[in-house]
Amino acid sequence: MLRRICLFIILALIFSPLLYAQKIDFQTLEQESQTYYKNKEFDVFLRQLTSYAKTADKKEQAVIEYFTALTYLEKLAFLEEKKDWENYYVIKDDCLKRAEELIKRLVKSCPDAKIAFESQYLLRGLYEQQEEEGKTKQALEKLESMLKTYAKENDDLELVRNFAERLYKEGKREETTELFESYISRLEEINDEERAEKKLKDIADKYFEEGTYELSKNFHFKYLELIKTNKPDELVEKGLAITDKYYKRGWEKIIKNNYYPGAEKVLGMLVPLDKYIIEHGKGERKKEAYYQLALSLYHMFKFEESVETLEDFLDKYGEGKVEDKILEKLSELYCILSSTEINNTDNIDKYIEKEKVLIRRFPDSGILWQVYDSAGDLYVKKDDYKGAVENYRIALDTCPREAETFIQEKIDQYIKKLSKTEIENLPKTDTKKEKLKTTSEHDEWVKSLDIDVEKIKTQAPAGDILVMALGKKDKELFKKAAEEYEKLIKKYPDDEQFRLNLYLVYHELGEEDKSAAYLGMGAGLKNKDLLSKTEALRNKQQKANEGMIFYEIINYYSDRDPKEFKVFRDNSEKIFLEQTLKSTKDITNNLKADIFSADQQLEEWAKVTNNTMTARDSLYEIIMQLVDTFPQNQRKTHLEIIDKIVQLESRIDALNIKEKTNMQLKIKKLFEGSNTYEDINRELTQILEMNKGEKDLMNSLSPEEKTKHAIDNIDEAIKEMANLENLINNNFDEMIVDGKKMLQKNPNDPIAYLMSGSAYQLKTKFSGSEDSKLLDLSNQMFNKAIELNPGLEGAVEEFRK
């Protein structure tokens, strides 16, 4: 009996490892490794792997060897991060050698495709870590080749997709594109069009969102080609959906932020898509694509092509009803193109005739008054004031109320240049409107601003030439612009905008000495210092502005009374969200109530007074947009307020960032609380008196001192913006904490999930990072909010925009 017991014990000792052996596969060891790596127990894990190897089969052996190699590299990486150089250099060569041998063996002979791919991926990382560029490139090329071969021979393509997305996240765009193409091609071969269609769209959208526009365009076209083959009836609808959701929104946002290089890239994608829809589309959608194509070309400064597109549209569809926006844009383009050749009356006559054609063909158009107005502007360019007044008066007959004063101003300005006989022979017009005179409070106020109308008119041709030159990068146009601005600077030697434009023109022509002279550079200061720092400040200001707007939107929700939530929920949370989103947008767009909008207003005013392209129109547009919102009996006070704000804004260049912010805060506070407009006007007068000397200070400085002053202010502003960025980041962190507290109180509150998702997303967006964990959390929160209340889907889409 004793002998049997002993034998049983011996057999148990021999076979116990087999009886209790752990299952060895990639996923199991991957999970186990994370615990060891987290606790920095690399040697313990290596010993554990050695013990597993004693009973492993061939497939399990490959998994163990992979994690052995990985652990050697993780151990080295830890010592390097810890800067424990003494131990690092003791084991470095041995660890690298062992890891490389194991990995190469697996790549060469492992039967499991996943292990082979993971090993080649790890080998590439090993070489990259050691900064061996040649070997890194070869290892990456081999990984691509292995994956492409696998894609051709196998129907299970998840491995290929997985590695393509991993490389994409690393920024390997070219390699990723080829792998995605192999993946999509194979899906088509095995007749999995549904997956191919969805994946193509996902890939294209992903490239667009991260700014890789050329690849985005390529994949969007592949997607449309697939739709064209399999679902031709859906082609135009899905093509328009792409342009609406991504490209139009993308370029509109970029242009709004004045980032024209980025806008040009996005428009470069939008133009071929619109052409694609024109070629394959039908009906109203095709007509809309014509207009969108013309609009895109217009914003790319390709004015001639834009005109050709709209004229082609009129040739095809002009017999039916034509939307006003087509005629409006075409009329505007005729005015722009008439200025491309200075003092060429034939060129102006050509576009006057084109305006007349529009008038004859579309006599019932709702915007015909704008066509007449543009024709009047063209006559002014050729000094034919009789023709100008005739067209302006016809425009006055049919224009809406808000444009009457604007057009009357033009009539009053140019009718003075006509003889008595010419005035008597003018065609009769609507005498009721003709009674409008320039004695209104509005006109008196405009006159009090001391705007040099003659100067604005004189500079218009030069400004139009400069816009065309910048759009086309045409050297000859830059030379013409230089000639025109040289004439202007002789007449107005102290005009800073003319000097700045000459700086820009000569810089584009490569004449840096002349360029520097007009910018006032000297005393060892260089143009690029000021320009680069200005660009850095602009980027930070834009980022801070966006961050504050995001903060205000979320704050608006968190500050609401819980009782108010309940009231809205009883009706519809969707209504509540639409109202609050609208309110927050109104808040952030309010020129008077937001600290950052003072900069925005200054930019708008700069366009009015300096940008020759829009000087004729924008001055009155901006003033009337503000004034039309005021009660008639208080208009004079409001006009005075706007005037004082403009005067204050025109002085902020002389202030440092703190002083500037304080001034803006003073203005902001005036519009809060119960101040009457008379109170505001009085306070603004006092602020103006206090800051009266700032303009004189700037005028007393030499060009070199002005430049140094500007650079010093920009340096200080950049520091302040960095502090503001930190503050905004902290605000988002606090919002995330608040969201968690709300969910602890009520785990099924859809509004709480919506707020939390928004906070995670906006923090990621503001920081400019691609933190996948934060984005995943955001999506989880958004999805839960929609699950709890499907009515929130529209609001989620708004936040994701």
To the question of domain 439-519 being in CATH 1.25.40, the answer is: yes
Q: pLDDT averaged over the chain?
A: 64
Give the model's pLDDT for residue 541. 52
The rounded radius of gyration (Å) of the Cα atoms in the chain is 34
CA distance 154 to 671: 68
Plot region of 775 (φ>0 → left; ψ -120 to 50 → alpha; else → beta): alpha
Fold of 26-207: 1.25.40
Plot region of 609 (φ>0 → left; ψ -120 to 50 → alpha; else → beta): alpha
CA dihedral 678, 684, 685, 691 (to 10 degrees): 170
Tokens describing residue 501:
């434009």
Closest by alpha carbon to 340, among 469, 486, 487?
Answer: 469
Binning pLDDT at 50, 70 and 90, where does residue 491 land?
confident
Helices 453-472 + 324-337 axis angle, to 10: 90
State residue 135 phi and psi, 5-degree precision.
-65, -35
Contacts of 684 (CB under 8 A, 6+ apart): 641, 644, 645, 648, 667, 670
What's the whole-number mean pLDDT along residues 533-560? 50
Give the model's pLDDT for residue 796. 72
Give the model's pLDDT for residue 781. 83
What letter would DSSP give residue 367?
Answer: T
Give the model's pLDDT for residue 288. 76
Give the model's pLDDT for residue 63. 81
Tens of pLDDT, residue by residue over 495-525, are: 766 777 787 788 788 887 777 667 554 333 3
Tens of pLDDT, residue by residue over 650-681, are: 444 444 444 555 555 565 555 555 566 666 66
Residues 168 and 176: beta-carbon distance below 8 Å: yes
Would you say the C-alpha torsion 493, 498, 504, 508 has a positive or negative sign?
negative
User: Given a cut of 80, is residue 223 above it in pLDDT?
Assistant: no
Closest by alpha carbon to 336, among 434, 537, 477, 435?
Answer: 477
Q: CATH 1.25.40.10 residue ranges in the chain?
A: 301-438
Tens of pLDDT, residue by residue over 79-91, are: 888 878 778 778 8
Tens of pLDDT, residue by residue over 243-296, are: 555 555 444 444 444 334 444 555 555 676 677 667 766 667 677 778 778 877
- Residue 78 CA: distances (Å) to CA of 87, 103, 199: 11, 20, 38
What's the whole-number mean pLDDT along residues 340-344? 56
Closest by alpha carbon to 306, among 320, 326, 286?
Answer: 326
Closest by alpha carbon to 472, among 306, 243, 252?
Answer: 306
Which range of 377-381, 456-460, 470-474, 744-748 scores highest in mean pLDDT? It is: 377-381
What's the whole-number mean pLDDT along residues 531-550? 53
Which CATH number fits the domain 301-438, given the four candidates 3.30.450.20, 1.10.1740.110, 3.20.20.70, 1.25.40.10? 1.25.40.10
Higher pLDDT, 62 or 155: 62
Higher pLDDT, 510 or 430: 510
User: Given a cut of 60, is residue 600 above it in pLDDT?
Assistant: no
Tens of pLDDT, residue by residue over 126-178, are: 877 777 777 877 777 777 777 677 666 665 566 666 666 676 666 665 666 66
State residue 233 phi and psi, 5-degree precision.
-65, -20
Closest by alpha carbon to 359, among 339, 346, 373?
Answer: 373
CA distance 614 to 443: 20
CA distance 651 to 699: 11
- Return the H-helix or E-strand segment holding 602: helix 597-610
Give the model's pLDDT for residue 387. 85
Give the model's pLDDT for residue 532. 57
Tens of pLDDT, residue by residue over 184-209, are: 565 555 455 666 666 666 666 666 56
Q: What global pTM score does this model have?
A: 0.35
**What residue ranges in 479-584 does DSSP mark as E strands?**
none
Give the model's pLDDT for residue 130. 73
Tokens describing residue 20:
């209790």
HSE-CB of 419 using CA atoms within 13 angstroms: 3
Give the model's pLDDT for residue 14. 43
What's the whole-number mean pLDDT along residues 353-360? 77
User: Given a cut of 80, is residue 105 above it in pLDDT?
Assistant: yes
User: Given a cut of 50, is residue 617 above it in pLDDT?
Assistant: no
Give the model's pLDDT for residue 20. 39
